[in-house]
Structure 1
Amino acid sequence: MLRIVTHIERTLLVHDCVIVPKFGGFVLQTIPAKYQAESHSFNPSRKEIVFNTTLQHNDGLLSESYMQIYGVDYRKAVLMLEEDVKSLKETLQQHKSLSFGNIGSFSLGEEGQTVFLPADTALFNLTSYGLSSFSFPTLESYLAEKRLLEVGQKHKKDTLYIPVSRKWVRVVAASAAAVALFFLVSTPVKDVNQSAYTASFVPTEIVSYKAPELNLSSSTIAEADKKEADVALIASPRQSSVAKEAKTRTAASVAPKVKEVSKPVAVAGSKKMYHIVIASFPSESQANEYIASVQSECKNVSKVVRDGKYRIYADKYDNREQAENYMADLRKNDKFKDAWLFISR
């Protein structure tokens, strides 16, 4: 933003008319407070900025502002003002549009005339500063709304309420939850292997029992040995099947459960970015036109939108020292002497 714009904004806070020599004058017109019956809204008084190209003389207000800010004499202040006005005109002719901060913006028409678009701001009206528009309903609408509320309350009185004990509700809810949990947790019965549960006619305890020694004949002993061998053959499938299933269940119960350890999620911290701003525009089309004009000088030129304005920055860094060094080099070019640092997250 040009240096002269800051002085014009500062002077308009005190005076209703500020003239830029050989360019034009800014005049504040007071618009009184207004009531809109359709929306029942009240609008405070405000001041509208008007630009008059016929005012070309030096009224001394801007020169005085230069003297106070920079501590120079009147002659030096006039020279600085003339230099800024010349730079203002050159910028407007070169880019066809120019932002004037809180005042508004300028552009060149089809016939080369200067067109001023005022900004919608209440900054320059100190008497109503901070006041905003508000809506106040009429008494008729308030009474109608009150009648609707009374009718609604009457309907509520006609409704019957059955008292229910909260303790009883909690007991029923807990019982229902327990029943649902029982059906979810209970183990389903799988198909049973009938061969594993087929028992012999003689229990295994009798087979393994050692009989006392008796004086029997050899034929009797041989017959008993044969029966004992047959019993062992019948009982062995059940013993092997039961032992195998018991081993499987034991291994399954002993295996420890592995807990899933949740990995901490790294939270990305927000970084500050330092933008070297070289211009500001109220519309995107003006911003894009300016970016195209400085693309050859600033390779990384781009824009960022803040508070409804398009800030054009030559480059951006995540390190403040690098950003300030680049801005110092950029200011050596007269075209970017008003570059400033904009910090964002």
Structure 2
Amino acid sequence: MTLANYINNLLYRYECVIVPNFGGFITNKISAKVNNFTHTFYAPSKQLTFNSHLQNNDGLLANYIATAKNLSYTEAVLEIENEVKNWKLSLKNEELELENIGSFHLNEEKILIFEPANINYLTSSFGLTSFVSPAIKRIVYQEKVKQLETAAPIFHNEENNSKTPVFIKYAAAAVILFTLGTVGWKEYQKIEYNNLVAQSEQQQQNVEKTIQEATFIIDNPLPAITLNVTKKVNNYHIIAGAFREPENAEKKLQQLIQKGFNAQILGVNKWNLTPVAFGSFNSKKEAINKLKIIKETESKAAWLLVKEY
């Protein structure tokens, strides 16, 4: 599976997937909308954008690849780096096409331009497509009323002078209702369309404002049918330390690995620190017993982090 496939899988569950040293892919939720000019109705969707300024590793993509391919965190990071190098080499000479994500190319000013693929990342809209509904033309109903009047003429006498036949009342009421409905529906469409545009712009601003502060947590694995692997969920982590500088976290990781620990880096947390774990466990009892041993033999400062993936 290529790096593009991993990114594509994550975009269905997360609003932002950052590729270190390349940029971030962001999904923006768009409500259902209608085009008044073409009379086309569109289902709710998540549209994809790209921000080249989001290049710091938040750990989401690396952790996902490490789990899916049974690699260490360091090996996953190295794999991402190699793929990004190949992308940048390709962009110097030609357009870069990422399957099910979109294409990149450099313009004359050497600025990276992204063209998203026509993919809806909103899972609740799966199977829904746009459709065109012809505009209501009230002239059709006026012609039908005339046909009714021709087929059933009204004969004047004292009785029907005083009372209008019931079916004529219904026909007249129908014409009025269709007339008012058509005008009201068009006005309603205009208001709804303007609201949708405003909501979309506000959502984009909110994402750009908070994306750097977001903490991404893997809260559920992808179905086995997609990855052909069985994911073991380890929610309990024995922490050796949390570091401001990624280099210090990597140094601590290597020290623990040399001592025989199944250590790993857990990514950057919401305080912009990088935790390093002695090991991770799917059993709380097992994690507590291991923590006791580590406190007695290795580090009294070790502590237990419960983090659901």
Q: Same fold (TM over 0.5)?
A: no
Greater relative contact order (CA < 8 Å, ≥ 6 in sequence): 2
Give TM-score scaled by structure 2 length. 0.44
Rg comparison, structure with higher value: 1
Scaled by the length of structure 1, the TM-score of the pair is 0.40
